[in-house]
Structure 1
Amino acid sequence: MSDSPWEDLAARSNGLHVVDDFEAATYRLVVEQVLYHADRGSRVAYYVVERYERDIKDALKPLGVDIHVNRQLRYAYAIPRHGKSGNATTQQTVFALVLRMVYEDSAKLGDLTDDGEVICDLVELDEKYRLLTGRELPSKGELDSLIRHLRRWGIARLSTEQDDIGEEGLLDQPYAIVIRPAIVDILGETALQRLSQWHGKTLSEPDEGEAQEQTSNDGTEAA
């Protein structure tokens, strides 16, 4: 056996993969936290992790990182067991938790795309945000910034022309937010209880200590 687990895996792949494939896929999984088969740029990395899940899991275990693969919805995600408290603002955290609730409500109704995503237009988002937080939805500039952060965390993105957003395929809104299925894994059930902590509070600035909390040991540094 070689000193590198990737060399062993490359040898076992019978020429299908080289060491760089395993290194790149594992690095992306740890850095990006979620790899989706639905994302063209992540498809190869997802296949590597999906096929060699047990070996990659063993390789990352000493680093305190757990990996999981959802083969039904085809995504892989990494959860640090001993992650440091994140530096997310209260507004970022609350916005993520609101999307988590929207996802759960839609999932109960079976309102999911084939990739397990939930498409939420701005009208619905505004209503849910005010209902759950008692505050107005952030302005467009702030909203764009929030979505960029959530995209890096692998739990939401903006809709594109390729998204199936209804029978007519169009929205009256400038865009819709696509809530991605790994939000359930990154922000677990206990995370939803935290919404009440911010109800009625000013969300533009984090309260002392709140922005440094983790989401009830759900593994993400984002919230």
Structure 2
Amino acid sequence: MSHWERLAAQSQTHAESDYHKAGYRLVMEQVLYASDPRSRIAYELIVKHRKDYDALLAQLGMHITHNPHMGYVVATPNQYVAEKMRLTETRMALVLRRLYDDKMHATEILAGEAWVDMIELERAYKDLLNRDLPQKAALDELLQAMKRYGIARLEETDDEQRNQVVIRPGIVDVLGETALLQLAAHANAIEEEEVDEAA
């Protein structure tokens, strides 16, 4: 009998597949939030059986960070691999992290989340990167990628201009100091290559 089978046998409510799915979701989604209905069960299982999941993810070269105050768990590689993000994603992630930090310092955080409208995002993107925010289709794709990384989601309204990007608290762990330095170096290296190729 496997360890997960034993846990399922002891549980009155969860099958062995629930334990498998929880670990899989954490690895694939990187951040699981207790407040998200889709993630709640996986979040609770991982928190309750933290040692088991720590051991499992350690075999994949990852570690788990749990923030009980903000209600999320994050799986991060022990050696952050910046190359997993495309350059456009890297740029957006860096801008979102900066905006989150600014909102945190201004105490404009609600339940751990920072709300940013499109005008604010466009301004920050221009100020920080000296380039225009991507057009709608490309921007939607970028925001979907940020959602997959567990660091932001789009709150849509009837008026596109009033749509808001919600920067989620897990961004602090997904993009910690080491990751930020590596992402910035990764973006600079790619941009230098592009300049060399154009010359």
1:119–1:179 Cα contact (<8 Å) kept: yes
**Separation of aligned partners in 2, 1:21 and 1:174:** 38
1:38 is the counterpart of 2:35: yes
CA separation of 1:85 and 1:108: change in aligned 2, threshold 3 A: closer
> Which residue in 2 is equivalent to 1:100?
97
* Aligned residue runs from structure 1 range 14-25, under 5 A: 15-25=12-22
How far the C-alpha of 1:172 sits from its partner, in A, is 7.8
> Which residue in 2 is equivalent to 1:167?
none
Q: Which amino acid aligns with 1:175?
A: N
SS of corresponding position for 2:83: coil
Identity of aligned residues (%): 39
1:132 is the counterpart of 2:120: no
Q: Which amino acid aligns with 1:71?
A: P
CA separation of 1:88 and 1:61: change in aligned 2, threshold 3 A: closer
What root-mean-square deviation, in Å, do the aligned CA atoms of Structure 1 and Structure 2 show?
A: 2.7
1:158 is the counterpart of 2:165: no
* Aligned residue runs from structure 1 range 45-84, under 5 A: 45-82=42-79
2:117–2:162 Cα contact (<8 Å) kept: no
Unaligned runs of 5+ residues in structure 2 are: 195-199
Structure number with the higher helix fraction is: 2
Q: Which amino acid aligns with 1:119?
A: W
How far the C-alpha of 1:31 sits from its partner, in A, is 1.0
| Structure 1 counterpart of 2:8, from 7, 10, 33 | 10
Deviation track 1:4-33 (CA, whole Å, cap 9, x = no partner) reads: 2212322343x2322111011111111111
SS of corresponding position for 1:173: helix
**Separation of aligned partners in 2, 1:121 and 1:64:** 37
Unaligned runs of 5+ residues in structure 1 are: 162-169, 210-223
**Separation of aligned partners in 1, 2:105 and 2:57:** 34
* Paired positions, count: 193
Question: Normalised by the size of structure 1, how large is the TM-score?
Answer: 0.76
* Bigger RCO of structures 1 and 2 (CA < 8 A, at least 6 apart): 1
> Which residue in 1 is equivalent to 2:193?
208
